Amino acid sequence: MFPGHVRARRIRLAALAACLAACVALAGCAASGTDIHLEPLWSRHTMASGGTEVEALGGLYLSQNPMPGLDARIHGVRPLWSQRNDADGDRTSHFLVPLGFDRKSGTGHTTMLLPLFYYQSRVEEPQHEGLPGKSRFDLVALPGLLLSRSDKGTDRIALFPLGGMVDHLFTYDKIRFVLFPLFLYTERERVRSWHVLWPIFGWSRGPESSSQRLWPLVGHSQRDGRYDRWFWLWPFLHWHRERDPGTENLSATKFLFFPLYGRTRIGTYRSTTVLWPFFGYARDPRRGYWAVDAPWPFVRMQGGGLDPNAEERRRAWPFYSHFRSAGLHADATLWPFFHRRREDYAESERDSTYLVPFWQSWDRTSKVDGSKSSWRKLWPLYQHYQQDEYVRYAFPDLNPFWRSEMIEFHYAWIWELYVGERGRFGERERLWGGLYRAESTRLESRHSLSALYASRAYSDERGEVIERSLLFGLLRFRTSSRDGFDPMRPAFPGPGWPAAMSGAMPGVDAEAGAQP
């Protein structure tokens, strides 16, 4: 190529660049707070429910800013971290979802990162007006750390297995240990117990009970004539005798020669076990109850008898299973693949069907306010959720497990090619990465295809109005029933629609003709 040709080409490229720069300079920029669509890199758009939403990198970063005082503000880098600030001042954060959680609500604060630690603190209500509330905290962390402080001072401190002093944990009033299992001391219901080289040596004393153990050779415990329990050569020989409180009547006797044979008698109830826990038979002629294991857990037959709310079971696992109790009917075929359940409780009714993992569905009706909700999932293609007037539908849905709003928020943006929402606020639609989105209210609708095309439709004194933006907002125009075609000032990088939608919230309408 000749030198003259090279110079001419450079001059043409420089002129083209200068022309483009001049066009951008003359176009003007989108006003602060207006819509900017550069998906999947970055976008700011007005939501049909009110407020604005900012996305970056296809949804990796998300920030939702609703109308002040109406809903929660949400932002995060998903799935690593997100934070929700509610209108009432509560704050909830998720990190390393679903392992990490942090929440501040009122005077309480809870943080956890499974399985490493769990922390909770709260300020209790003062007993007298004018006095400050007293604080309490609990910390559990690996490898065995437990700390707790209440209004009475530190009542739990432990570093397992080195040593610890713990009060009011589980069913125990006190727990003390040193170099566990070397030494352990517990108190429960005024019964004091000592253990050395737990579980080998142990004894306890109380006002009405005592026990002693040389494990696994022999062990004995008794309480005020109400029970008498022995074992020899644990786990092989066990014998229990129990009495009704305040009487000399035997209420139960139990004998087990593990695992060959076991026998239990409780009132009119009798049960026999052979090769525990595989084969067994039980009956109670007074209640009409009976049960058969042959062998457990594969075959289990159980009749509830005279009590209509008693449990009833028929199981030939994994081929078929039927269970009925007060408020619950459940059937399964070829477990774990097909399940049907009907739940009828004090506050709600729910029917569900599962063909794992391909089909999952449930319908729920509240007995408190009559509200209805339903969910359908055809995995991995589609899901549909409805709560009264609110509807959300999306495809595909790669999550094979149950519905979780937390999992959907943090992960579904990765695989959902299309998602739509409909409710009192209007309608929303979104394609993967935000490349296409639509927001519609009762008075206005907006559609966009990244920076290439966007439209806005509404009505005012000019009649039906449609505004369009092309090529990063460099070309914008309006058509209306009264005025026809009307060019609009460019708004780079576009589309530059106003920061509020007409009809986004009742009584809050954007000025329909306002332009940046």
The answer on pLDDT for 169 being more than 50 is yes
The 8-class DSSP code of residue 133 comes to P
In this prediction, residues 174-186 reach a mean pLDDT of: 96
Amino acid at 309: N
Q: Which of 322, 324, 318, 279 is nearest to 305 (CA)?
A: 324
CB atoms within 10 A of CB 21: 10
pLDDT of residue 508: 40
The 8-class DSSP code of residue 490 comes to -
Amino acid at 271: S
**E strand intervals along 258-371:** 261-266, 269-274, 279-284, 289-293, 299-303, 312-316, 320-325, 328-333, 338-344, 348-355, 359-366
User: How big, in percent rounded to 5, are the helix, strand and coil portions of the chain?
Assistant: 10, 55, 40
185 vs 201: CA distance, rounded Å: 12
| C-alpha pair distances (Å), 142 with each of 120, 161, 448 | 16, 11, 50
Indicate the pLDDT class of residue 134, thresholds 50, 70 and 90. Answer: confident
- Residue 132's contacts (CB-CB under 8 Å, 6 or more residues apart) are 126
Q: Which of 357, 462, 469 is nearest to 402 (CA)?
A: 357
| C-alpha pair distances (Å), 114 with each of 1, 92, 117, 119 | 67, 17, 6, 11
Q: Kindly write down the DSSP assignment for every residue of 77-91, as one continuous string.
A: ETTTEEEEE-TTS-E
236-286 per-position pLDDT tens digit? 999 999 887 655 566 889 999 999 999 999 888 999 999 999 999 999 998
7-59 per-position pLDDT tens digit? 656 655 555 554 444 444 444 565 667 899 999 999 999 998 888 999 999 99
> Does residue 348 contact residue 365 with C-beta atoms inside 8 Å?
yes
The 8-class DSSP code of residue 117 comes to E
**Which tokens sit at 401?**
């497990």
409 vs 211: CA distance, rounded Å: 55
The answer on pLDDT for 513 being more than 60 is no
429-481 per-position pLDDT tens digit? 999 999 999 999 989 999 999 999 999 999 999 999 999 999 999 999 999 99
369-421 per-position pLDDT tens digit? 999 999 999 999 999 999 999 999 999 999 988 889 999 999 999 999 999 99
The 8-class DSSP code of residue 356 comes to T
- Residue 166's contacts (CB-CB under 8 Å, 6 or more residues apart) are 146, 148, 155, 156, 157, 158, 172, 174, 175, 176
CB atoms within 10 A of CB 347: 8
| Residue 153 or 107, more confident | 107
CB atoms within 10 A of CB 42: 15
> Does residue 457 contact residue 435 with C-beta atoms inside 8 Å?
no
Max distance between CA atoms of the chain, in angstroms, equals: 120
Q: Are strands 320-325 and 312-316 parallel, antiparallel or unpaired?
A: antiparallel
501 vs 467: CA distance, rounded Å: 14
> Does residue 329 contact residue 342 with C-beta atoms inside 8 Å?
yes
- Give the H or E element holding residue 163: strand 163-169
291-346 per-position pLDDT tens digit? 999 999 999 999 988 888 889 999 999 999 999 998 999 999 999 999 999 999 88
426 vs 501: CA distance, rounded Å: 11
Only one residue has tokens 């999952």, namely 360
Alpha carbon dihedral 350, 355, 360, 364, in 10-degree steps, equals: -10
41 vs 64: CA distance, rounded Å: 17
42 vs 36: CA distance, rounded Å: 8
Q: Kindly write down the DSSP assignment for every residue of 43-77, as one continuous string.
A: EEEE-TTSSEEEEEGGGTEEEEE-STTTS-EEEEE
The whole-model pTM stands at 0.80
Helix (H, G, I), strand (E, B) or coil at 432: helix
Q: Which of 171-185, 245-259, 357-371 has the lowest mean pLDDT?
A: 245-259
- Give the H or E element holding residue 17: helix 3-27
β-bridge partners, 426: 423
Note the Cα 168 to chain centre separation in Å: 29
